[in-house]
Structure 1
Amino acid sequence: MKLFKLLLTMPLLLGLLYACNNDDTKTNKDVTGNNSTVDETANNKNTTNNSENENERTGIKVADVNYAFTEFDLDVEYANRNSYDVEYENDGNNIYAELDDEIKGIEYKGDQAYENFVDALKQLTFDETTSDDDVRKEVLKAFALDENYKSFELEVKFKNGEIKHYHHNK
C-alpha cells in the first residue's frame, strides 16, 4: 500500500514542480509583435557599455565646442612607468571625456575630466597638414607635459573624417 501511494504521489509532485518552474535562465525571449528573438546577454553587455559611456559623457553642449577634430586620444608614457592619457570624443550628439594622469595620481571621467583639459584643447591649432613634429610639440606644450617621455602616441580624427596617428619613441 505504501508503494502504491508513493508511485501515485511522485508524478503529482513532479507535475507540480514543473508547473511552478519559473525559468529565469532562459536567454531568448520573443519580442512583442515580432517573430524575432532578443538575446538578453547581448543586451546586458550593451547596458554595461552604455553605463560606462554615461560616466564618460559630459554635460557640455556639442554646439559650444569648436575644435579642428572630433576625436583626440593621447597617450604619453614616461620611463618611470607613469603615463598621461586623455580621451576626447564629440560624436555629434554628446561629448565624452576621460583623463588618467598617473603623474599626478588622478583619474576623471565626464565633466570633471573635460574641465581638467579643456584649456589645453583650446590651445591646439594644428590640422591634418601640420607636421608630426609640430603637432607633438604643440600638444606637449598645451598639456604642460615633460618632453622627456618614453613614447608619445596620439590619434586624431579631424572634422573632415581623416584619421591621423602620431607616434614617437625616444
Structure 2
Amino acid sequence: MHRERNDNMNKTTTKIVACIAVVVIAGALILIPSLNKSKPRPLESADATPSETNSNTIGIANDKVTTPAEDTNHPSTSGENNTDTTMTTIYKDSYKTVVLFNQDQIEALTGQVLDAASIKVVQEMLQQEDTWTAQNFSASEANLIANAASQESNKLQSILTQITQYKVTDLKLVIVHNEHHSSAHFAADNREMSNQNNSIKGTNTEELTTSIANFLEFELEVDYAQGQYEVDYKNYHGMIQAEIEDERSKTTTKIQGATALKQLEKVLIKLEIEKDTPKQDAISRTLTAFQLADNYKEFELKIHFPDGDKLTFKSNK
C-alpha cells in the first residue's frame, strides 16, 4: 500500500519537473533572440572614410559639399583698405577709385629704387601705360593715368621728392570714371595725418568723399559792379568744407556741403593751375572754368596745394 502511494508521488514529481523544464526552455527560446536584437553595434572606426560610413551623414546621393575654401565669389567688405605689394586701394565705387602708393609700393610698381637720383627714371616709368596695365588696370585707365603722369610731371616730381625726404608718406592717385567724363590726378598724401580724427569747427564742414586731388584749399572771390561771386573749398584730411555763394543778381544763391561739392568737383578736377602757372593764365582759366565774366572790379584767388605750397592771385580793374 505504501509502495503504491510512493510510486504515485514519484510520477507526480516527475511531471512537475518536466513541466518546469518545458517552461524554462520555452522562455529561453523567446528571450535569446530579443537579447541579440538589443546588443549594441560596435562604434565605427575614426579612420573610416566617407564611403565606409552611412551616406546620410554627409549628404544625399553623393551631393557635393562646398567648403568655405571653394567659395571665391564673396566681394570684399565695403570700407576696408585693400592692400597689395604695389598699391593700397582706399576707396572704390562706380564713380571713382582712390589708391595710395608708399615708397616700397612705388618701387614695386616701377621696378626702380626711389631716391633723389632716380626720381626722373621713376617718373618715366609712371608715364608708361605698360606700368599700369601690369597692375590690372584696363587699357583706357592705363592711358588716362599715364597721360596724367605726363601732364602733372612737375607736381609728380615734387611729390616723389617729398616721399624720399619723408615729408609725405604716399603718392595718391584719383581716377574718376563715369558716363560724363573720365580723368586721373596725382596728389600727395600723409597716411598718418589722414587717419587722425581732426576736429574742425564750422557748419559747412562734413565728412564727405571727393575726387578733387588738385587742391587742398581753393578760395575764390570775384567782385562785380552788380555783386560778388565766392567759392570756398577746404579739405582737412577728409573733413571737407564746400560753399558757393552768388550775389550777382537780386536773389542771392548760396549752396553748401554735398551739393556744393558736387558742383565744384565738375570744375576743380579740370582746372589746371600749377605752382608755375602765370598770374594772368591762372585768372583766365579760373574765370572760364566757373563761367564768370572778365569785367570784374576785383579778383582774388587763394590756393593751397596738397604738397604744402600756397599761391595767391590778385587783380584789380
| Fold match by TM threshold 0.5 | yes
Residue of 67, 88, 92 corresponding to 2:213: 67
Cα RMSD, aligned residues only: 1.9
1:132: how far off?
Answer: 0.7
2:243, 2:311 → 1: CA distance?
A: 20
- Judge conservation of contact 2:300–2:312 (CA < 8 Å) in 1: yes
What SS class does the counterpart of residue 69 from structure 1 fall into? Answer: coil
Greater relative CO (CA pairs within 8 A, separation 6+): 1
TM-score normalised by structure 1 residue count: 0.63
Residue of 144, 152, 157 corresponding to 2:304: 157
Residue of 214, 219, 241 corresponding to 1:96: 241
1:67: how far off?
Answer: 2.5
Indicate the percent of aligned positions where both proteins have the same amino acid. 31
- Judge conservation of contact 2:212–2:268 (CA < 8 Å) in 1: no
1:113: how far off?
Answer: 1.7
2:212, 2:259 → 1: CA distance?
A: 19
Q: Which has the larger radius of gyration?
A: 2
Which AA in structure 1 matches 2:208? Answer: I
What SS class does the counterpart of residue 96 from structure 1 fall into? Answer: strand
Which AA in structure 2 matches 1:131? Answer: P
Q: Structure 2: 5+ residue runs without aligned partners? A: 1-199
1:128-149 superposed Cα distances (whole Å, 9 cap, x missing partner): 1111111101100000001110
- Give the number of the structure whose residues are more often strand, by fraction: 1
Structure 2 equivalent of residue 57 of structure 1: 205
Which AA in structure 2 matches 1:91? Answer: Y
1:31-80 superposed Cα distances (whole Å, 9 cap, x missing partner): xxxxxxxxxxxxxxxxxx83xx2x3124531xx42422200000000022
- Report the count of equivalent residues: 117
- Judge conservation of contact 1:59–1:111 (CA < 8 Å) in 2: no
What SS class does the counterpart of residue 304 from structure 2 fall into? Answer: strand
Q: Structure 1: 5+ residue runs without aligned partners? A: 1-48
Corresponding position: 1:79 with 2:225 = yes
1:95: how far off?
Answer: 1.3
1:119: how far off?
Answer: 1.3
1:106-140 superposed Cα distances (whole Å, 9 cap, x missing partner): 01121122223321112201111111111101100
Which AA in structure 1 matches 2:204? Answer: E
1:168, 1:151 → 2: CA distance?
A: 6
Structure 2 equivalent of residue 14 of structure 1: none
What SS class does the counterpart of residue 216 from structure 2 fall into? Answer: strand
Structure 2 equivalent of residue 109 of structure 1: 256
- Judge conservation of contact 1:58–1:110 (CA < 8 Å) in 2: yes
What SS class does the counterpart of residue 313 from structure 2 fall into? Answer: strand
132-141 or 113-122: bigger deviation: 113-122
Which AA in structure 1 matches 2:234? Answer: E
- Judge conservation of contact 1:57–1:111 (CA < 8 Å) in 2: no
- Judge conservation of contact 1:117–1:143 (CA < 8 Å) in 2: no
1:131, 1:116 → 2: CA distance?
A: 26
